[in-house]
Amino acid sequence: TDRKKLHTAPVGQVFRLRPFHVLVATGGGYAGYKKYEDYKLEQLEKRGIEVPVKLASEWEVALYKSVPTRLLSRAWGRLNQVELPTWLRKPVYSLYIWTFGVNMKEAAVEDLHHYRNLSEFFRRKLKPQARPVCCLHSVISPSDGKILNFGQVKNCEVEQVKGVTYSLESFLGPRICTEELHFSQAPPSNSFQQQLVTKEGNELYHCVIYLAPGDYHCFHSPTDWRVSHRRHFPGSLMSVNPGVARWIKELFCHNERVVLTGDWKHGFFSLTAVGATNVGSIRIYFDQDLHTNSPRYSKGSYNDFSFISNNNKEGIPMRKGEHLGEFNLGSTIVLIFEAPKDFRFHLKAGQKIRFGEALGSL
């Protein structure tokens, strides 16, 4: 009777697991495990060992998508805007340079103290002579990066990496008004791929370029063309590194992306900027109405914007090599375009490429 009374709270009040916390912990742990698996696959590839394709199951994709990557990417974006003290800038940027192999000798401003925050450092401009634009070929690389895949589009399927495809129609979305893009007046029974081809005898081609975190983050116009339309797909922000692209079918259709469509001298032309983890921000310089990774947009939808108006019948003309946009961090550029059958790529899968270098020509 003389013992002191010990008051305890119910276990549920002390430690209460909520579904959101379980999803974050489980999904985050699994994502970390997959990162480690991707690293092992990259090491095997470097040794020349061919890695068999192993696609993720539906539950694995659902688990990965449960990680709040959009929220985390918005938080990362705000962190990037925080101004760093002058004394801290060189150590922070030097660590990033060492980790991702950044070549600061190409930067227009090499002094690390010049960049007030991480965002400015990511979006650093290059010296004019650092990326000469090839004049001999009709299509150049719009960015620095690694060539994941390229070739002809077949059976309305596009390869994101060797052996893993995605639907052309799911990626670009439904057809846009023929008056804007001059799509072929093909009967509705024809395939989506055939409807994009405007000239008889032409084929549809594609090229996928992966931008690593250490690459130059701006992208440019790959050819002379005019942009008629922009379609923004809010979506997930899963990693788009080659390991994940090999694992998740239709990864680019799941992720947030901005599709620019128009035409060049040979017909249909499109450039798509695909978002990724910590890359919620995709900026198109001439499109002030575009706002990516915004909570006001829900997944599974898309919104369109036309650059054709009563006052502007031609859309947005772009010259080869002209500044087009930028990512907040590394991501992916997908080109899908129409060209004659004798168009040839001057590439090898897996090769490193820099902005301004030739992709292909007639």
Express each pLDDT in 236-276 by its tens digit.
888 888 878 888 888 888 888 999 999 999 999 999 999 88
Comparing CA positions, the residue from 156, 322, 333, 194 lying closest to residue 258 is 333
User: For residue 16, what pLDDT band results from cuts at 50, 70 and 90?
Assistant: low
Residue 279 tokens, joined: 């890359």
Comparing CA positions, the residue from 143, 89, 123 lying closest to residue 332 is 143
Give the mean model confidence (pLDDT) for residues 178-197: 65
- 300 against 220, higher pLDDT: 220
Residue 219 tokens, joined: 């992208």
The verdict on residue 33 lying in a domain is no
> Does 52 score more than 80 pLDDT?
no
The verdict on residue 57 lying in a domain is no
Contact in structure between 245 and 160 (CB atoms under 8 Å): yes
Predicted TM-score (pTM) of this structure: 0.81
List the helix and strand counts (H, then E) for the chain. 11, 17
Contact in structure between 283 and 290 (CB atoms under 8 Å): yes
Contact in structure between 237 and 66 (CB atoms under 8 Å): no
Our count of domains for the chain comes to 1
pLDDT at 355: 94
pLDDT at 109: 92
Q: What percent of the chain has pLDDT over 90?
A: 38
The verdict on residue 2 lying in a domain is no
Task: Please give the residue range of the domain that contains residue 281.
Answer: 139-174+192-361
The set of catalytic residues is: 144, 220, 331
| 56-112 tens-digit pLDDT | 888 888 888 888 877 887 787 788 888 999 999 999 999 989 988 889 999 999 999
Going across the sheet that includes 344-345, the strands are 139-140, 358-361, 344-345
The verdict on residue 241 lying in a domain is yes
The verdict on residue 290 lying in a domain is yes
> Does 351 score more than 80 pLDDT?
yes
d(CA 49, CA 43): 9
Which string of DSSP letters, residue by residue, matches 307-351?
---SS-SS-EEE-TT-EEEEESS--EEEEEEEEETT-EE---TT-
pLDDT at 338: 95
pLDDT at 192: 87
Give the mean model confidence (pLDDT) for residues 206-226: 92
Q: In the chain, helix, strand, coil percent, each to 5? A: 30, 25, 45
The verdict on residue 109 lying in a domain is no
Residue 10 tokens, joined: 């119910």
d(CA 141, CA 219): 9
